[in-house]
Amino acid sequence: MDQMIPLSIPNFEGNEETYVLDAVREGWVSTGGAYIAEFENRLAGFLHTPAAAACQSGTSAIHLALLECGVRPGDSVIVPTLTFIAAVNPVRYQYANPIFMDCDESLCMDPAKLKRFCEEECEQRDGKLYHKKTQSEIKAVVVVHIFGNMADMERIMDVADEYGLRVIEDATEALGTYYLEGRYKGKYAGTIGDYGAYSFNGNKIITTGGGGAVVARDGAHLEHMKYLSTQAKDDPHFYVHHEVGYNYRMTNVQAAIGVAQLEKLPEFIERKQRNYALYRELLCDMELGRMFDFRAGTSSNKWFYAFELSGGRISAREAIKALAREKIQTRAIWELIHEQTPYREDTAYQIEKAAAYQKRIVNLPCSTQLTQRDICRVAEQMKRLNESVLKAGSMEQENRSDR
C-alpha cells in the first residue's frame, strides 16, 4: 500500500544528533553556548554578509527589524497581502498600520504599484513619506520572497531610495536564493535591503525546530537588535536595563541543530532544484495548469513547488481533496491578509493579481527526502486528475448540446 507523501517535512540526515548531545552534555541548553555563535558565523559566511543574529523565529526577526526602523504607534508599513500572516503581524505588535500591496507575476510585491502608490496616494514632507488619507508616516516596506522566488529588488530599492523608506526583506522562504545578473548579481535574498529576516521553522529548507535569524546592512543596527533580543541587558550581573527588551534569542540546542543543517544546505538546495526540474518535465503540456516559474536571472532555492491551475476547470480546494484521497498532501496558498478579520479596516491598494493567484495555486510535495518514485507518483495522479477534469468538461458540453 502506498504511503502518504507529505508536503514538506524536516530532514535530519547529518550531524544533528551528535551536536545536540554535545550541547546537552556540556549543559549549554539555553540562550548561551558555543553553537549559537557558530551558527551565526556559518550563516553569515553562507550569505556573504558580515554577521547575523540568531533569534527565536522569522516573526521575531521581522519585529526586531521594525523596531530598528523606528516604527512606532500610528506609523504605517507597506506589506504584501499575498503571504503568510506572520510577515504582517509584527507591524501590529508596534501598534502601527499595514498598507497592503498587490503582487506581480512572481507572487512577490508589485514594484510598479508600489511606485504608483507612493506617487499618487502619498506626499513627501521634510524628507518623510506620508499617506494622504490617514496622514500617517510610512516608515518601511516589508518585501517577502514568496516560495523561494526573488522579488524585483532593483525596482523596489529604487522606489525605497526615492521616498526614503527602509526595506525589510522577509527571506524566510528564500534562504539560498540569489541574483545571477543585474545590479545585485551574487547577492542573496535578505542581504539587499536594510534588514533581512530568515526562518528555520520545521517546514523550511533547513530547520532548527523553531528559530530564525536577522541580518542588517549596518553592523551597529545588527548589534542593537541582538541586544534587544536578549532582554536589553546593559549590566547582566546587576540587572540594569535602559530599553525594553525581548526574549527573542535562539537557544544553544536549536543552534546545534542549525549548524548540522547548514552543513547540508547546499545539498538540500541541489535536491530542491533537481526535483523541481523533474516535476516540470513530467507536468508539462497539461490543460489543467502548469508548474509556476521562478524569476529569470536568479538562482532559486526552489523551496515550494507551486502548480497554477488554469481555465477554471477545477478549484484549488477540489484538487487538494482529490490528491488527499490518493495519500498526497498538498496545500493551497494563503488567504489574502487584507481580507482577514484583524486587517479588514486597513488600506489595501488595487489588489488584483493576488486575488486571482490565491484561487489558482496548489503547492505540491517538496521535501528534500522526495524520491524520483514519489515525484512520478504525484505526477501520475496529477495527470489522472487532468484526464478526469477534461472528461467531465466534455460530458458537460455534450449535455448542453443535447439540450
**Please, where are the H alpha helices in 48-176?**
58-68, 89-93, 111-120, 153-163
HSE (side-chain half, CA atoms, 13 Å) at 286? 27
Residues 192 and 293 in one domain: no
pLDDT interval class at 313 (50, 70, 90): confident
Residue 253 lies in a domain: yes
On whether both 164 and 180 belong to a single domain, the answer is: yes
What is the structure's pLDDT at 167? 98
Query: 64: pLDDT confidence band, cut at 50, 70 and 90?
Result: very high
pLDDT score at 2? 83
What is the rounded average pLDDT of the residues 225-234? 96
Task: State the number of CA atoms in the 13 A half-sphere of 310 facing the CB.
Answer: 11
Same domain? For 256 and 386 the reply is no
Of 229, 262, 295, the residue at which a domain comes to its end is 262
3 lies in a domain? no
For the chain, give the percent of residues with pLDDT over 70. 97
Q: What is the pTM of this model?
A: 0.95
Same-domain check for residues 273 and 315: yes
- Mean of all residue pLDDT scores within the chain: 95
Domain count, the chain: 2
The CATH number of whichever domain residue 397 belongs to comes to 3.90.1150.10
Q: What CATH number does residue 81 fall under?
A: 3.40.640.10
Cα atoms found within 13 Å of the Cα of residue 260, Cβ hemisphere only? 22
Tell me: do 300 and 237 sit in the same domain.
Answer: no
Does one domain contain both 255 and 272? no
Same domain, 297 and 205: no
Instruction: Give me the mean pLDDT over the 334-347 stretch.
Output: 98
Q: In the listed set 262, 296, 329, which residue is the last one of a domain according to the structure? A: 262
Statement to judge: residues 257 and 272 lie in one domain: no
Q: 325-350 in b/e burial notation, b at 16+ Cβ within 10 A?
A: ebebbbbbbbebbbeeeebeebbbbe
Give yes or no: residues 232 and 310 share one domain: no
Residues 245 and 194 occupy one common structural domain:
yes
Structural domain includes residue 5: no
Predicted confidence band of residue 365 (pLDDT cuts 50, 70, 90): very high
Residue 7 lies in a domain: no
Its domain, for residue 390, covers 265-402
How many CB atoms lie under 10 A from the CB of residue 291?
19
The predicted model gives 99-109 an average pLDDT of 98
Side-chain half-sphere of 307: how many Cα atoms within 13 Å?
A: 33
At 394 the pLDDT is 54
Say yes or no to pLDDT of 34 above 90.
Answer: yes
Domain membership flag for residue 6:
no
Instruction: Tell me: pLDDT of 297 over 90.
Output: yes
Clarify whether residues 189 and 318 are in a common domain.
no
Cell numbers at residue 67, please?
523596531
Residues 286 and 251 in one domain: no
Tell me: pLDDT of 398 over 80: no
- Reported as a pLDDT band with limits 50, 70 and 90, residue 389 is confident
pLDDT at 311: 81
Q: What is the mean pLDDT of residues 262-278?
A: 98
Query: What pLDDT does residue 11 have?
Result: 97
* Positions of E strands within 324-387: 331-332, 348-349, 361-364
Mean pLDDT, range 199-211, rounded to an integer: 97
Q: What CA–CA distance (Å, rounded) separates 401 from 23?
A: 72
Domain boundary among 238, 262, 286: 262
What is the pLDDT at residue 346?
98
User: Could you tell me if residue 198 is inside a domain?
Assistant: yes
Does 67 map to a domain? Answer: yes
Residue 397: per-residue pLDDT: 52
- Helices 219-229 and 58-68: angle between axes, nearest 10 degrees: 120
Quick check: is 1 in a domain? Answer: no
